Amino acid sequence: MEQEVTAQVVALGGSTDFSLIQLFLRADFVVKSVIIILIAASVYSWALIFEKYRLFQKIDKSTNIFEDKFWKSRSAESFYNSLTNKDKDPMANIFQSAMAELIKTKSKSSSVQSMRVSRVLEISADREIKLIEKHFTFLATVGSTAPFIGLFGTVWGIMNSFQSIAISRNTSLAIVAPGIAEALFATALGLLAAIPAVVAYNKFNSDSKKYSARIENFSKRFISII
């Protein structure tokens, strides 16, 4: 009788579908929740990656154009008057804020004027950098936590597999294989979400620092002009 039951279990295990969809459908509530969280985090991470990639491509191009026009202009004030609200470049926004303050403080002494313009440049630069770095924290969080969330799903799935062994009193691989496969699927998803997020965060963080240094250099040169 035992041999017949074992044969049936092995046959059932051999015909088990190990496709990704079936692994998800067979998983219990906890493992399914882990899988859904990791898939959602991965999708949102990729959306942010594409968005930030396009953003850095855009501002790099627009800032090159802005700086080229600025240094070729006859005066800062004439260039300021030629700018429109359509210019969405971060450095153009910083320049416009500084020029507005410069015009406002024309009646002040040069030292007071320089100090106030420097302060506006600093505040505007900080605001623009924060906008550029928006959602960077999410990428860092996914990169650091996704593997552990996947590991939690793996541990839970393996616990279920051992429970199946205890209930069936059968150590056949066919009993534990589905549970282990579901558990390893959670680990794979955790790594799939974490690796791109970490790589993207490091790259974008580096690009942001380079752009911040570029803004700082422009601010110093602008202050030296006025």
Q: Give the separation between CA 98 and CA 5, rounded to whole angstroms.
A: 82
CA distance 78 to 168: 84
pTM score, whole prediction: 0.78
| Statement: residue 203 has pLDDT above 80 | yes
Report the percentage of the chain scoring pLDDT > 70: 80
- Higher per-residue pLDDT: 77 or 8: 77
Question: Are 72 and 196 within 8 A, CB to CB?
Answer: no
pLDDT tens track for 142-194: 999 999 999 988 888 887 777 766 676 666 666 666 667 777 888 889 999 99
Residue 78 burial (10 A CB sphere; 0-12, 13-18, 19+): exposed
Tokens of 44: 């949102």
Alpha carbon dihedral 35, 38, 44, 46, in 10-degree steps, equals -110
